[in-house]
Amino acid sequence: MDWWKQIFDAFQQADVRQVVYVPDAGHASLIEACIADMGIRAIALTTEEEGIAVLAGAWLGGERGALLMQSSGVGNCINMLSLSKTCQFPLPLFVTMRGQWHEFNPWQYPMGQTTESQLNTAGVQTLTATSPDDVGAMAAATLDQAYTGGSMSALLLHQRLMPVKTFGK
């Protein structure tokens, strides 16, 4: 499950300098790589919506950033997405999905099954990677869409890309 390396490569190619995240098992390897990279400032958040404000500041300061989160965090961000839309700064989101393939936690289903429609309603353009082979091109397209188009763009990483989780793991 090395699909995360393709996202990291896309970050490097797009000159992403700040990566904000709420700790997440699905993004764990990508987060570790960002922390280890001296050219990226990796910032842990307490809630996902803080990331939108941090990335607004990054953009105003002349740096590109990206927000990593789980689909359950999308609900926390809906109101804050208006900051990006109103101020017209690019906002790339990378979302590990829950409530899909082999989900063990019933609390993840409501948000996981409505993530894409909620993002689309808020004006975020979405792509969904269901195969590791799709991740690299879709990560690059998500960053390009955000930075070239000056918009909100999300890559939804289907739960099939993650190891099957259980309460014991």
Query: Would you say 151 and 22 are in contact if contact means Cβ atoms under 8 Å apart?
Result: no
Q: Which domains does the chain have, with CATH numbers?
A: 3-160 (3.40.50.970)
- CA distances for 39 relative to 15, 16, 35, 65, 107, angstroms: 9, 9, 9, 12, 37
- pLDDT values of the chain reduced to their tens digit, one per residue, 169 residues: 799 999 999 999 999 999 999 998 889 999 999 999 999 999 999 999 999 999 999 999 999 999 999 888 888 888 899 999 899 999 999 998 876 666 666 666 567 687 888 999 999 999 999 999 999 999 999 999 999 988 999 999 987 877 666 555 5
Q: What is the pLDDT of residue 1?
A: 72
Identify residue 54 by its one-letter amino acid code: V
The C-alpha atoms of residue 132 and residue 163 are separated, in whole angstroms, by 13
Task: State the alpha helices, DSSP H only, in the chain.
Answer: 3-13, 28-36, 48-60, 71-77, 81-87, 109-121, 132-149
Q: What is the pLDDT of residue 100?
A: 64
- The total of other beta-carbon atoms located within 10 Å of residue 46's CB is 7
User: Among candidates 9, 26, 19, 57, which has minimal Cα distance to 169?
Assistant: 26
